[in-house]
A and B are shown apart, each in its own frame.
Chain A
Amino acid sequence: MTSLLDPVELGALARRVDGWADELRGRASGLLVCASATRWQSTAAEAFRRQAGDLAGAMRMSAVDVDAAAAALRQHGRQVEIVESAIATPLDFLADVALSWLGG
């Protein structure tokens, strides 16, 4: 039972999701740099820079949602850890009793 439940793995998953949020923020910054560095001047260019700015802003907001997903995973991992230890203690007690009866 305990081998299938792995709070450590859930923590690792949360860290990976945290990394994706950071990656999203990095890509948003890269997009802004790219938009401002492009030597292009016209009405269409202004529209491109505006859209790139909007997209970068949306990516940063989305990164906050990804952060929230990572936080939910971490919280879930902690909860599972509590449940796991609550179950593990009586099981260990019963195992000790069984072993003593068998003369182990």
Chain B
Amino acid sequence: MTAVHPIEVDGGPGGITAHLEDLRVAARQVGRVADDIGHLAADLHAVLLHPALLVSAGFDPIGAGEVSAAIFRATDGPGGVTALALRGAALALALRASAARYEAVDELTRLAGPIPELIRRLPVTAAETAGVVTVSGAGAALEHLVTRDPQLVDVAVSTLAALLTARATPAAAAQLARQFPDGHAAVANLGADLAGDALGPPRSLRDLLSGIDRRTAGQAGEVDVRILTQPTQSGAPRHVVVDIPGTKTWSLAAHNPDVTSIATNLRSLAGQRTAYEEGIELAMRRAGVRPDDDVLLLGHSEGGMVAVNAATRFAQTGEFHVGRVITAGAPISATVDRVPNSVQVLALENAGDVVPHLDGQPNPDRPNVTTVTLHHDYGDIGRNHDLTDSYLPGATDVAAGSDPSVRAYLAGLAPFFNATAVRTQRFLISRTYR
């Protein structure tokens, strides 16, 4: 039995969300409550000195004493209003401090990206790398450095982008993309995936990722549309999975018929529409995906960027209902913010995989964006990014996780795991320049 590796989870319904204005309003309201209780304590103390009570004490000293004791208990006892006013003031102060901290973190993140995290990690990473340099040479040392701590790539990429173009990473990618014309999509039907369908419908997150792993093993630009059949389903909305693999060629040729080439990478990183995305849309139409079908877009690496961008645009056009996106090893931080709240995103990122860091910043913490960090480190850039080596076993780790964001996401996938049959159609998307 395969050992389950620990995971870390950010965002999702169990993550952090804070409306700063709400926090400030709450701090003011709690502060007012504390002030009011403080005034109440002063008013109660004043009763002790009221002339009517002072004069009457001579005629009913026992009763006046009981009044004094009751007022002391209510004002200065352990649970008295004076102590409550202090507790309220402390709570208001804590709220104000929380709001200020969130504000400061937002500002710091905007200004410095992942630099504070880098500073925290750098001494350990650098010391380890120095050892590798002496033993194995500079190339191995660089690989060790980036696989040991891929956040270095966040900083390197964002810094490089800023130095080269004086812009943030997505804007720099968009500028570079002008050197690589994108063209349009041509889609060919490759027929059914009988071997894949013979394995049956998916029953787990790992099964889902196995589907995209099969397409990754195929030709450049090969995608598929998996239509899942439910037990009692006549005309009811179906569940559909679209598998979108990543880059197959890294050629720097300006014109390239491979739709997974660098032209798509640069545009997708900047959130732009691409021929690859256009091809996905055409493939879904040809596969007969209906507007009310519940669609899951599943993308590895570049495919994850395309999936996120397509989900955003389908939500705008309404042509397809994409309720979920799963990405594996995809740099989506700059684009996933545009995904509407109706789309639930699960981003799987292997800790030693440098590719998710090519956008130069961590994913945003949103209720509909759950980022899971996996731990399958081979000290090798390729294997750390590989579906079979890293993300398939990572899917098993995720399924075993107890984090509320992960459990909520997996619960939403349940209808995809209950199908009785699956019909997969394969398509080949290529780029044309017309």
Contacts and interface: CB of A to CB of B under 8 A. Distances in A.
A38 to B, nearest CB: 4
A4 interface: yes
Interface string B359-399: 00000000100000000000000000000000000000000
Interface stretch (B91-99, B158-166, B269-277, B282-290): B91-99
B176 interface: no
B29 A30 contact: yes
Contacts, number: 141
B63 to A, nearest CB: 4
Contact of A76 (B30, B36, B56): B56
Contact of B79 (A6, A62, A69): A62
Nearest to A76: B63
Interface stretch (B69-77, B195-203, B223-231, B412-420): B69-77
A51 B44 CA distance: 25
A99 interface: no
A58 B79 contact: yes
Interface stretch (B45-53, B124-132, B248-256): B45-53
Interface residues of A, number: 47
A17 B37 contact: no
B186 to A, nearest CB: 46
B289 to A, nearest CB: 34
B55 interface: yes
A66 B79 CA distance: 11
Contacts of B87: 51, 55, 58
B84 A62 contact: yes
A13 B66 CA distance: 15
B221 interface: no
Contacts of A45: 18
A101 B79 CA distance: 61
Contact of B59 (A13, A68, A80): A80
B111 interface: no
Nearest to A64: B74
A69 B29 contact: no
B388 to A, nearest CB: 36
Interface string A1-19: 0001111011001000100
Summarize B's interface: helix, strand, loop or mixed. Answer: helix
A13 to B, nearest CB: 6
Interface string A30-42: 1100110111111
B91 A55 contact: yes
Given A59-B84, A62-B84, A73-B67, A80 B60 contact: yes
Interface residues of B, number: 46
Contacts of A75: 63, 66
Contacts of B94: 48, 51
Contact of B63 (A23, A40, A80): A80
Contact of B367 (A6, A10, A41, A55): A41
Task: Select the residue from B18, B25, B60, B94 with max chain A CB neighbours within 10 A.
Answer: B60
A41 B66 CA distance: 47
Contacts of A76: 53, 56, 60, 63-64, 66-67
Contacts of B29: 30-31, 34
Contact of A5 (B56, B66, B69, B70): B56
Contacts of A48: 26, 91, 94-95, 98
Given A10-B53, A69-B71, A72-B70, 9 more contacts: A34-B29, A39-B22, A55-B84, A55-B88, A59-B84, A65-B74, A65-B79, A66-B81, A72-B69
27 contacts: A6-B52, A6-B56, A17-B47, A31-B29, A31-B88, A34-B26, A34-B29, A39-B17, A39-B19, A42-B16, A44-B98, A48-B95, A51-B91, A52-B91, A59-B84, A62-B80, A65-B70, A65-B74, A66-B81, A73-B53, A73-B67, A75-B63, A76-B63, A77-B56, A79-B60, A80-B59, A83-B59
Interface of B: 15-19, 22-23, 25-26, 29-30, 33, 36-37, 40, 43-44, 47, 50, 52-53, 55-56, 59-60, 63-64, 66-67, 69-71, 73-74, 77, 79-81, 84, 87-88, 91, 94-95, 98, 367
Shortest 3 CB-CB distances between A and B: which pairs? A76-B63, A65-B74, A69-B70
